[in-house]
């Protein structure tokens, strides 16, 4: 549609003849439009990818729009898919993994099955599973949300704990340590926003669980893992180890400012920490995320992470260029993954990327730890879960109960209330 016919291209196409038509998309100047939401993170990574692709394919014009927030992108995407219009949509869009199934199942045919073009076994399995419906994979996996426990080693050592004391803990053990840290240094362990359900999800994920049974029904009442997660959440609050915060920036400020002692969260937070806590370089460290005291829970989990989707409605030539771009750079360029790891702290999920040099280096910001190697090891262990289509609905039901739970409310009653609201919302 947006092909620009200039004479050189026409002659080229004519000379190449019919055989050229199959791959003609590359011969014309094509605009590939991409939506993503964080200028410093996925936007920057995408710009790097585009620059690399353009070196060999100058005729593909890659337009990256990273000026909107994730909420706004969801809203624009959903409005247009609901309206059944496509002219305002990009060719490639970034979607967070827990939202993927909802889009794939509500708007069948809206997304291109990338698995038909690109070999999906090259990517971390749990990422591929999040976007696979009826055996077809629809996403090119981008970043991992593998969780690390980021903490201020100076606070912990002041309280008498070395880095070795923080390895492979259970949550209960960390809470005990946290009490001492609070007592000795005055810093709470975490800043927590009542609206943030990520804490519960991260704990469930460490046991390979989510809100749902394999058949899609709710798995909340009578689920010991879910109750254990809520119990840990409650203990953090009732022991005075949480500082209430509101909103994302308030949350990130709580740890980047050194107000609280740490945060267990996805590796994508590295950029934020380094940017806002630059003065505290060397005082930070990363340990494996604690596990729940239930069967199957391990010291590895996931929080967030997103993947690239190609819109099926894109014009043929743009779609072909988009797929070729993803295949060439995102599923074939080891150096690219080193560059975005160093530049943006983006841990890709293309398995070969881990063989690069950057993944083997140590980081002075984190006291010379080989953080990337650690993260890739944990990444390999993250249990895969099925996010289903109603994650946002259950999130909302849980967040409604979190303040009550934090104040020491009865867990069984809270679970009943969550279940009631979730059942209602997922009909």
Partner 1 sequence: MASRVVVREHINGWLFIAPALILLGIFMIYPIIWSLWMSFQTGRGMNFSFGGLANIQRLFADTVFLRALGNTMIFLVVQVPIMIILALLFAVALNDTKLWGRSFFRTAIFLPCVTSLVAYAVLFKSMFSAEGVVNATLVGLGLDPVPWLTDPFWAKVLIIMAITWRWTGYNMIFYLAALQNVDRSIYEAARIDGVPPWARFLYITLPMLKPVILFTTVISTIGTLQLFDEPYNITQGGPSQATLTLSYYIYDLTFRFMPSFGYSATVSWVIVVLVGILTFVQFLVAREGRRA
Partner 2 sequence: MTTTETSAGVVRRSTTSAMNPHILFRSLQRALLYIALSIAAFISIFPFYWMVVGSTNTSPDIAHGKASPGSYLFQNVAAFFATVDVPRMFWNSALLALVGVALTLIVSSLAGYGFEMFKSRFRDRIFGFLLLMLSIPFAALMVPLFIMMSNLKLINTFTAVLLPGIASIFIIFYFRQATKAFPGELRDAARIDGLNEWQIFVYVYLPVMRSTYAAAIIIIFMANWNSYLWPLIILITEENKTVTLIVSALSYAYVPDYGVIMISAVFATLPTVLIFFLLQRRFVEGMLGSVK
Complex with partner 1: residue 243 or 274, whichever CB lies closer: 243
Measured at the CA of 269, the angle between CA 268 and CA 272, to 5 degrees, comes to: 125
Name the binder of 343 from partner 2, partner 1, none, CB < 5-8 A by kind. none
Complex with partner 1: residue 31 or 188, whichever CB lies closer: 188
Q: Where are the beta strands (DSSP E) in 66-171?
A: 92-96, 132-133, 136-137, 139-141, 147-152
Complex with partner 1: residue 28 or 390, whichever CB lies closer: 390
- Greatest CA separation for the chain: 79
Tell me the C-alpha distance between 204 and 190, whole Å: 19
**273 burial via Cβ count (<10 Å: 0-12, 13-18, 19+):** buried
**Interacting residue with partner 2 among 144, 225, 272, 299 (CB under 8 A):** 272
Residues 88-127 that bind partner 2 (CB under 8 A): 88
**Interacting residue with partner 2 among 87, 134, 215, 295 (CB under 8 A):** 87
Tell me the C-alpha distance between 264 and 5, whole Å: 53
**136 burial via Cβ count (<10 Å: 0-12, 13-18, 19+):** middle
Instruction: Provide the b/e sequence for 144-156 (b: ≥16 CB within 10 Å).
Output: bbbbbbbbbbbbb
The reply on whether position 72 binds partner 2 by CB under 8 A is: yes
Give φ, ψ of 58 to 5 degrees.
-65, -15
**Interacting residue with partner 2 among 25, 27, 32, 41 (CB under 8 A):** 41
The reply on whether position 246 binds partner 2 by CB under 8 A is: no
The reply on whether position 1 binds partner 2 by CB under 8 A is: no
Name the binder of 158 from partner 1, partner 2, none, CB < 5-8 A by kind. none
Complex with partner 1: residue 206 or 419, whichever CB lies closer: 419
Give φ, ψ of 350 to 5 degrees.
-85, 115
**Interacting residue with partner 2 among 80, 144, 338, 419 (CB under 8 A):** 80
The reply on whether position 65 binds partner 2 by CB under 8 A is: yes
**Interacting residue with partner 2 among 106, 168, 217, 257 (CB under 8 A):** 257
What is the pattern of x (binds partner 2, CB under 8 A) and - over residues 351-390? ----------------------------------------
Complex with partner 2: residue 219 or 252, whichever CB lies closer: 252
**Interacting residue with partner 2 among 19, 56, 71, 109 (CB under 8 A):** 71
Distance of alpha carbon 387 from its chain centroid, rounded?
13
- Minimum Å gap between C-beta 195 and partner 1 is 4
C-alpha distance from residue 405 to each of 152, 231, 399 (Å): 27, 8, 10
Cα-Cα-Cα-Cα dihedral of 312, 317, 323, 328, to 10°?
-170
Stretch that binds partner 2, among 1-9, 18-26, 80-88, 190-198 (CB under 8 A): 80-88
- Minimum Å gap between C-beta 145 and partner 2 is 14
Stretch that binds partner 2, among 14-22, 67-75, 138-146, 292-300 (CB under 8 A): 67-75
Give φ, ψ of 94 to 5 degrees.
-90, 130
The reply on whether position 76 binds partner 2 by CB under 8 A is: yes
The reply on whether position 75 binds partner 2 by CB under 8 A is: yes
Tell me the C-alpha distance between 379 and 295, whole Å: 20
Name the binder of 67 from partner 1, partner 2, none, CB < 5-8 A by kind. partner 2
Give φ, ψ of 131 to 5 degrees.
-125, 30
Helices 391-406, 411-425: axis angle to 10 degrees equals 160
Per 3-state DSSP, the chain is made up of helix, strand and coil in percentages (nearest 5) of 50, 15, 35
Strands, sheet with 284-288, edge to edge from the N-terminal-most edge strand: 262-266, 147-152, 284-288
Stretch that binds partner 2, among 20-28, 79-87, 113-121, 289-297 (CB under 8 A): 79-87
Name the binder of 87 from partner 2, partner 1, none, CB < 5-8 A by kind. partner 2
Complex with partner 2: residue 287 or 347, whichever CB lies closer: 347
Q: Are 171 and 232 in contact (CB under 8 A)?
A: yes
Complex with partner 1: residue 247 or 282, whichever CB lies closer: 247
- Minimum Å gap between C-beta 112 and partner 1 is 18
- Minimum Å gap between C-beta 68 and partner 2 is 6
Measured at the CA of 344, the angle between CA 338 and CA 346, to 5 degrees, comes to: 65
Complex with partner 1: residue 120 or 192, whichever CB lies closer: 192
Residues in the site for partner 2, rule: CB under 8 A?
A: 38-41, 65, 67-69, 71-72, 75-76, 79-80, 82-85, 87-88, 248-249, 252-253, 257, 271-272, 275-276
């Amino acid at each position: 549609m947006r092909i620009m016919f200039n004479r050189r291209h026409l002659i080229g196409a004519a000379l190449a003849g019919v055989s050229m038509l199959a791959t003609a998309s590359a011969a014309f100047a094509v605009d590939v439009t991409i939506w993503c939401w964080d200028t410093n993170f996925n936007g920057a990574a995408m710009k790097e990818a585009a620059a690399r692709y353009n070196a060999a394919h100058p005729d593909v014009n890659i337009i990256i729009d990273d000026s909107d927030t994730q909420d706004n992108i969801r809203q624009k995407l959903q409005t247009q898919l609901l309206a059944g219009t496509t002219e305002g949509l990009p060719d490639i869009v970034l979607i967070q993994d827990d939202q993927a199934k909802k889009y794939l199942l509500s708007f069948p045919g809206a997304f291109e099955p990338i698995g038909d073009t690109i070999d999906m076994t090259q990517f971390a399995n749990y990422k591929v599973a999040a976007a696979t419906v009826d055996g077809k994979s629809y996403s090119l996996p981008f970043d991992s949300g593998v969780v690390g426990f980021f903490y201020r080693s100076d606070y912990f050592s002041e309280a008498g704990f070395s880095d070795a004391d923080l390895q492979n803990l259970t949550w209960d053990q960390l809470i005990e340590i946290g009490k001492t840290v609070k007592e000795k240094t005055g810093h709470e362990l975490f800043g927590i926003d009542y609206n943030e359900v990520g804490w519960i999800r991260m704990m469930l994920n460490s046991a390979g669980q989510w809100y749902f049974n394999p058949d899609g029904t709710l798995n909340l009442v009578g689920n010991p893992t879910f109750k254990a997660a809520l119990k840990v959440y409650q203990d953090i609050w009732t022991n005075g180890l949480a500082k209430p915060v509101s909103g994302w920036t308030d949350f990130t400020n709580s740890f980047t400012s050194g107000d609280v002692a740490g945060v267990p969260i996805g590796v994508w937070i590295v950029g934020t920490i380094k940017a806002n806590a630059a003065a505290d370089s060397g005082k930070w460290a990363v340990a494996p995320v604690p596990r729940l005291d239930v069967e199957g829970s391990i010291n590895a989990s996931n929080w967030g992470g997103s993947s690239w989707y190609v819109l099926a409605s894109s014009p043929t030539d743009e779609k072909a260029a988009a797929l070729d771009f993803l295949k060439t750079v995102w599923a074939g360029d080891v150096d690219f993954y080193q560059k975005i790891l160093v530049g943006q702290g983006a841990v890709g999920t293309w398995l070969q990327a881990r063989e690069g040099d950057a993944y083997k280096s140590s980081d002075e910001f984190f006291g010379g730890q080989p953080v990337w190697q650690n993260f890739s090891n944990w990444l390999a262990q993250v249990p895969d879960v099925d996010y289903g289509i109603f994650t946002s609905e259950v999130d909302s039901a849980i967040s409604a109960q979190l303040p009550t739970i934090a104040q020491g409310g009865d867990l069984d009653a809270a679970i009943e209330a969550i279940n009631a609201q979730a059942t209602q919302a997922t009909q």
